[in-house]
Every structure is written in C-alpha cells, then in structure tokens.
A and B are shown apart, each in its own frame.
Chain A
Amino acid sequence: MNNPHTNINSAAIPLHSDRIRVDLQLIADMVEPGTRVLDIGCSDGELLGYLTRTKKVDGRGLELSNEGVRNCVAQGLPVMQGDADRDLGDYPDGAFDYAILSQTLQATHRPKEVLSELLRIGNKAIVSFPNFGHWRARFDLMFRGRMPQNPNLPIMWYETPNIHFCTVRDFVGMCDDMGVKIERSMVLNESGSKVSIDSHSRFANFFGNQALFMLSK
C-alpha cells in the first residue's frame, strides 16, 4: 500500500501504489475490466480500490467492521456496513458481474445460502477460503492434537470469527450438491502465491493453504 516515505501532499506522486496482497492480485486477475463488482467483506478496500483504479470497475463493497467502512469511504470507495449472512437479500438479481467473497466464507453462519446469494446477485462468484485439508492443519490435529493455527489463521479457537471451516474437497462437494459450475480453481501457498498443482487433484487439498474458486450457475 502507501509508501510511508511518500509525501502524500505532492500531487505528482500517486496516492496508491498498484501492488496489492498476492492472493488479492490473483482475484483481481480474474476480473474483466469495466465490469460491475461487489466485494463482500472488503476490509480496508485494498482489492476494491485496486479494481476501481486499474480495471475501472463499477465497484461496491460490503464490510462488517465500522472501521473498515470508514476507511473505505474516506478513500472515496462506495462501501456500506453489512454482513454477508444478513444483507445480501436487498441486491437485485444479476446486479453485478462478479460477487467476490475473499477469506470470509468460513466466518459466515450459513455458507451455502451465502454462496447461492452470491450467484443470484452476481453472474459469477469469486470465493477464497483457508483450506483445512492442508497438511499442516492435518498435522496440528493429528500430532499436536490442537486446532490448526498458522500465520493466516492466528486466532485461538475460542476467539476466532471463523466458524465454518472446510477443505477444498468439502467445498467442491458443496458446489456439486448445489449444481454450481466451477469455472476456475486454484490453490495458494501460505504467502498467497499460486501453487502449480492441478487444483482437482488430491495434492491440491494437501498442499494448498488457501483455495480460490470462480463459480457460476
């Protein structure tokens, strides 16, 4: 994000550098320019701001934390306070080309309903989540007898907002149940970079720290 040494008062220097978190970049790469995008759980607007600036999307955001909403709106991004479980119902069918849910599915109360809402309001849904099938998660449970914790999931089980963990295979199973088409899928390592494994293979579920799917009805 902003270089702390940049003089933000100088008009010659752009306010935003166009580098974003690696996993968000992978999502951004899936989005066609000039489209309508809803980013659900948009946090401080890193992805939404990037898409607005570089891909000229008509972007909107929904964010649970007041602080996140404030920071987004203060950057000029159209974001409102809301919750994926409760507040998607107002958006009309097909209002967006993409409905993005990044690292938020596992924190929703009803992931299946949320996913079907994403595909109602967006022609395509882009969903990423931490993979509990990753070998380290399996290791934590099997050999340490502890709930998995890692740099991406640092919060203790009793404090985490994440309540619906799944593995890549679990997620694919849900998509199959719902008749949802998987357009693209990939797995990412701990730093969010793409892992070059066939995302349909069992290795993906073992070595992928996070998973990223593009879905359609």
Chain B
Amino acid sequence: MSTVANKDKRAPLPGHHMVLGETDKLRLDSGVEFGPFTIAYQTYGELNADKSNAILVCHALTGDQYVADEVHPITGKDGWWRELVGPGKIIDTDKYFVICSNVIGGCLGSTGPKDTNPETGKPWGLDFPVITIADMVRAQTMLIDALGIGSLFAVIGGSMGGMQVLEWCKSYPERVFAAAPIATSFRHSAQNIAFHEVGRQAVMADPDWCGGNYLLEGKKPARGLAVARMTAHITYLSQPALHRKFGRKLQNRGAITYSFDQDFQVESYLRHQGKSFVDRFDANSYLYITRAMDYFDLSIDYDGRLADAFKGSKTRFCIVSFSSDWCFTTAESRQLAHALNAASCNVSCVEIESDKGHDAFLLDEPDFHMVLGGFIDGAAEIRGLK
C-alpha cells in the first residue's frame, strides 16, 4: 500500500480504501495536480458479469460512504440511507452493485485536510487544495475506472450528492444511464452560500481552530463546529416540522428559569445535534466541503444557458424535490427540469408533499420511495437488467 493510505493515527475505519492518482494525478479545478490520494468506499451486492448493474450513491455534505451499513463505525447508528438501500429495498442490493465513496476533502477515510501532507509530514490543514464538486466527481471516476466499470446504471444522491449526480451527467453523460438528483439544485443559491458562510465563520471564530492548525496544536474547534452544525441543521428542517416536534415545550423543567440555560426542548435538541456532530466530523473538512457546494454552478461554463450542459444527453433523469425544502426549492428543481426539456432530455420531475424540510430525502417518505422505486425499475427494464 502507498504511504498515503491510513495516515490517520487512529485505527483505520472499516471498508475499502483505494489509492489513486499515483501516476495520473487528479487535476483539480484550481489547477493543482493532486495525488496520490485515497478514496474510502463501501460496496453492497455483486457486480454482474457485463458490469451493467452498478449504482453509484453520492453522499451529502456531512454524509459518508456507510450508506447501508447496519452499524455505522463511528455513530453506531444505521447507515444514512438504510431505508432505501439493501436487499429487497428500492435500491436492491440483491440486484444492483451499489458503490458509495467518501468525497475527496472528506474526513471518513478519503484524503482530506486532516490527513498528512507528504511534503511537510504535518496535517494539511488549510494547505489542502480547495475542492469543487467537479473535483469530487473526477476522483469518483478514477475509482469507477479502477473498479473496471465503464458505464454506471445509475447515479443517485440528495443535496450535495445531487450536485455530484448532475456533475456526472454534465461531464460524463455516456457513463450514466439513469440519474436521480434529489433535493438539490444546479447551483448553490445566495441564501445557501450565506448560511454556509455563517457556519464557516463560527468555526474560524473558535480560538481552538488555531488558524486551521488545531491538529498540530492538539486542540479541536468543537464549539465553533457545533454552532455551524446547529445553524445548518435548522435550514434542513422546516418551521412546521420544528413546531410539530418541539413547539414551545420546556426541557425537563416546569417553568422557564430566567437564565440562558437550555429551557426549551428545541435548544437542547440543537445542542445535542451540534455536540454529536463534532464527534464525527473534522472542522476543516466542513470548511472545504461547504466551499465546494458554494462554488457549484453547472450553468457557468455555458453563459448561464443551463440546457447546453445537457445537450445530446441520453441519460434518463428523475428530479425529486420536497414541498417544504427551503434549502433546495421545488422552483429550482423545475428550472433544472425545464433546462433538460429544452435539451430534449428524458426527464421526470416530481415534488413530494412533506413538511419535513430538506431532510425529508433522508427520512421515511413513502411517496418519495414509491417514485424513486418506479423510476429505477423502469430504467432497469430498459437497460435489460433482471
């Protein structure tokens, strides 16, 4: 194995690790030639003889490769899309070979800012090159190449995962038979950039961030990262969902305390979200990955004419949005669908009624599952997959 793999001083995480870019480096959008680097990934099911049944699932900002694991190695909980991915499920691992890889810049095994810079022998920190969604996808193509897979049956993902799906469809249309960009957009909105900036500023304002060198200093910007997560988490929910869950209920007390203690349940919930996030996520990775999302705009290479990004594409698209998602609205999904129509692409576009906000794509939403299942089954029939 290359010296790059398993630089993490802690025990290596379970799953596959592939070292890539040893000879042909990864050319980043910023111009940097990067490599070698490691991509950590999980697979479920078996690749068929003609390698036509592979589905790539792309994870969201704080997701990871453990999409369908029974026990997540860090949190101990279910994999984040276990509801959808598994034997006999909508993304049926008895039928499909499912791949999910940790994005480059991430912190669950793929090379990211917490890993060691081979030139200095110290953690990369802010010397890690800035990563874009296209860079993440380019790294994924290198993994898919290394696995010997030419064309993917489907690329599926929500939120930032959906951005990767769209990037695949734009840059490698001949390698994607079917695509499901879910709760996502072709570009990050000003509002979303604004929330990300709040999160990054919270991290950077934490003295324990140490200008990005907290690992060298033996510290952790836990408070800053927790605040970033708390803010972001609110944007993933909706006003009705928060109200339904918490209302103005008090936390383990009969009356307000006239203090800044966590009187309300919603405060306690958010603090818990922030705290548990810090245990599993690297603060610098959070900066890099949020930046990648901010930079994402699929129409930028085409003078804003999004349709041109998909010209001649034979991919079958299924765009899904959720009615109460205010991070990635149905209006944005429809803009994408209209562009695909203008490019004569094969596109379905569905809005699912839900009050659960952006997070709905991760939750038990039967209508969503019915739609995605129908789309995958229909595409499999056309692809001739049994």
Chain A residues proximal to chain B, CB less than 8 Å: 58, 60, 66, 69-70, 72-81, 87, 90-92, 95
| Chain B residues with CB below 8 A from A60, complex form | 346-347
| Chain B residues with CB below 8 A from A75, complex form | 374, 378
**Additional A-B contact list (15), CB under 8 Å, known A66-B351, A76-B375, A76-B381:** A60-B346, A60-B347, A69-B349, A70-B352, A70-B371, A73-B371, A75-B378, A76-B374, A76-B377, A78-B347, A78-B348, A79-B348, A80-B319, A87-B338, A90-B338
Residue of A nearest to B343 (CB): A92
Interface string of B348-386 (1 = CB under 8 A from A): 111111000000000000010011011101110100000
| Chain B residues with CB below 8 A from A66, complex form | 350-351, 353
B337 in complex: contacting residue of A72, A77, A80, CB < 8 Å: A80
B175 within 8 Å of A (CB atoms): no
B344 engages A74 (CB within 8 Å): no
B349 engages A76 (CB within 8 Å): no
Q: List 22 A-B contacts (CB under 8 A).
A: A60-B346, A60-B347, A69-B348, A69-B349, A69-B351, A70-B367, A70-B370, A73-B318, A74-B370, A74-B371, A75-B374, A75-B378, A76-B374, A76-B377, A76-B378, A76-B381, A78-B347, A80-B347, A87-B338, A90-B341, A90-B342, A91-B342
User: Contacts A60-B346, A81-B350; is A76 near B341 (CB within 8 Å)?
Assistant: no
User: Contacts A70-B367, A73-B318, A76-B378; is A81 near B349 (CB within 8 Å)?
Assistant: yes
| Chain A residues with CB below 8 A from B377, complex form | 76
Which interface class (under 10, 10 to 19, 20 to 34, 35 or more) fits B?
A: 20 to 34
Residue of A nearest to B370 (CB): A74
Most chain B CB within a 10 A radius of its CB, from A72, A76, A81: A76
Residue of A nearest to B349 (CB): A80
- Least CB distance, B306 to chain A, in whole angstroms: 11
Q: How far is the CA of A83 from the CA of B72 in the complex (A)?
A: 44
User: Contacts A70-B370, A74-B370; is A92 near B344 (CB within 8 Å)?
Assistant: yes
> How many residue pairs at the A-B interface have CB separations less than 8 Å?
64
Q: How far is the CA of A32 from the CA of B370 in the complex (A)?
A: 31
A80 in complex: contacting residue of B342, B348, B353, B381, CB < 8 Å: B348
Q: How far is the CA of A155 from the CA of B127 in the complex (A)?
A: 68
Question: Do most interface residues of chain B lie in helix, strand or loop, or is the interface mixed?
Answer: helix
- Least CB distance, A159 to chain B, in whole angstroms: 22
A78 in complex: contacting residue of B339, B346, B352, CB < 8 Å: B346
| Chain A residues with CB below 8 A from B338, complex form | 87, 90
Q: How far is the CA of A87 from the CA of B342 in the complex (A)?
A: 11
| Chain B residues with CB below 8 A from A77, complex form | 348, 378
B7 within 8 Å of A (CB atoms): no
A78 engages B374 (CB within 8 Å): no
A73 engages B374 (CB within 8 Å): yes
B187 within 8 Å of A (CB atoms): no
- Least CB distance, A156 to chain B, in whole angstroms: 27
- Least CB distance, A135 to chain B, in whole angstroms: 42
Residue of A nearest to B337 (CB): A80
| Chain A residues with CB below 8 A from B25, complex form | none
| Chain A residues with CB below 8 A from B371, complex form | 70, 73-74
A91 engages B316 (CB within 8 Å): no
Residue of B nearest to A72 (CB): B348
- Least CB distance, A62 to chain B, in whole angstroms: 9
| Chain A residues with CB below 8 A from B367, complex form | 70
| Chain B residues with CB below 8 A from A80, complex form | 319, 337, 341, 347-350
- Least CB distance, B170 to chain A, in whole angstroms: 18
Q: How far is the CA of A75 from the CA of B377 in the complex (A)?
A: 8
| Chain B residues with CB below 8 A from A90, complex form | 338-339, 341-342
A69 in complex: contacting residue of B342, B350, B381, CB < 8 Å: B350
- Least CB distance, A73 to chain B, in whole angstroms: 5
- Least CB distance, A72 to chain B, in whole angstroms: 8
- Least CB distance, A57 to chain B, in whole angstroms: 12
Interface string of B175-197 (1 = CB under 8 A from A): 00000000000000000000000
**Shortest beta-carbon contacts, A-B, top 10:** A76-B378, A74-B374, A80-B349, A90-B338, A90-B341, A73-B348, A90-B342, A74-B370, A78-B348, A73-B371
